[in-house]
Amino acid sequence: MHTVQKNTVVTISYKIQEIGGEVLEESQEGFPYLHGGYDNIFPKAEEVLEGKTLGTKIEIDLAPADAYGERDLNLVRVESLSDLNIPGLQIGDMLEEDDEETGETIIWRVIAMKDDQVMLDHNHPLAGLGIRFSAEVLGIRAATAAEAEHGHVHDEHDSHGH
């Protein structure tokens, strides 16, 4: 495989930063993802990477809706600190809760505290931010049948941790 296309494992170095601002996340050593609409990276960045070759560099500005999403106030709630009964709770702490309907774990981040009130947020911490996504293609290989079937990259033994 010489070009980025559907069902290729693409390894990229990347940088995510606020548009005109600070670096929020960076990976120089390489991040492998399965290309082809599997939602493993931002869809608009994947579109720009389509057809690219080894060594290609890209840079794209993404609106909040195309990055980590808009902030959704329905994903913010206020709880009583005494009801939570978690000693030493601080702003920035993460709380886990099991979703009774789906069985999945929901992560809530403590974003504010006042008196006996705690504000919890389930939005991604970068929701609402426009970002600049920069990447360089470090590697391209054909995906295995198992990777294509499962929709994500496996380790060198073609296994994964789920």
- pLDDT band for 29, please (50, 70, 90 cuts): confident
Residue 156 placed within a domain: no
- pLDDT band for 147, please (50, 70, 90 cuts): very high
- Which pLDDT belongs to residue 99? 85
Residue 2 placed within a domain: no
Q: What percent of the chain has pLDDT over 90?
A: 81
Range of the domain at 117: 73-121
27: Cβ contacts below 8 Å, ≥ 6 apart: 12, 13, 14, 15
Residue 146 placed within a domain: yes
Q: How far apart are CA 91 and CA 113, in angstroms?
A: 7
Residue 137 placed within a domain: yes
Which residue in the block uniquely carries the two structure tokens 């999945």?
104
Secondary element (H or E) of residue 10 = strand 8-18
pLDDT of 156 above 80: no
**Could you tell me if 153 and 41 are in contact, meaning their C-beta atoms sit under 8 angstroms apart?**
no
**Could you tell me if 27 and 144 are in contact, meaning their C-beta atoms sit under 8 angstroms apart?**
no
**CATH number of 25's domain:** 3.10.50.40
Task: Let me know whether 60 and 39 are in one domain.
Answer: yes
Report field, pTM of the whole predicted structure over 0.75:
yes
pLDDT of 79 above 70: yes
User: Mean pLDDT throughout 50-62?
Assistant: 97
Task: Let me know whether 12 and 64 are in one domain.
Answer: yes
**Could you tell me if 162 and 51 are in contact, meaning their C-beta atoms sit under 8 angstroms apart?**
no
Residue 45 placed within a domain: yes
Secondary element (H or E) of residue 105 = strand 105-114
Task: Let me know whether 62 and 137 are in one domain.
Answer: yes
- pLDDT band for 160, please (50, 70, 90 cuts): low
**Could you tell me if 35 and 46 are in contact, meaning their C-beta atoms sit under 8 angstroms apart?**
yes
The pair of structure tokens assigned to 60 is 């794209």
Q: How far apart are CA 1 and CA 131, in angstroms?
A: 30
- pLDDT band for 155, please (50, 70, 90 cuts): confident
Secondary element (H or E) of residue 47 = helix 43-49
Task: Let me know whether 52 and 102 are in one domain.
Answer: no
User: Mean pLDDT throughout 56-78?
Assistant: 96
- pLDDT band for 158, please (50, 70, 90 cuts): low
Task: Let me know whether 91 and 47 are in one domain.
Answer: no
- Which pLDDT belongs to residue 122? 95
- pLDDT band for 161, please (50, 70, 90 cuts): low
**Could you tell me if 47 and 41 are in contact, meaning their C-beta atoms sit under 8 angstroms apart?**
no
The total of structural domains in the chain comes to 2
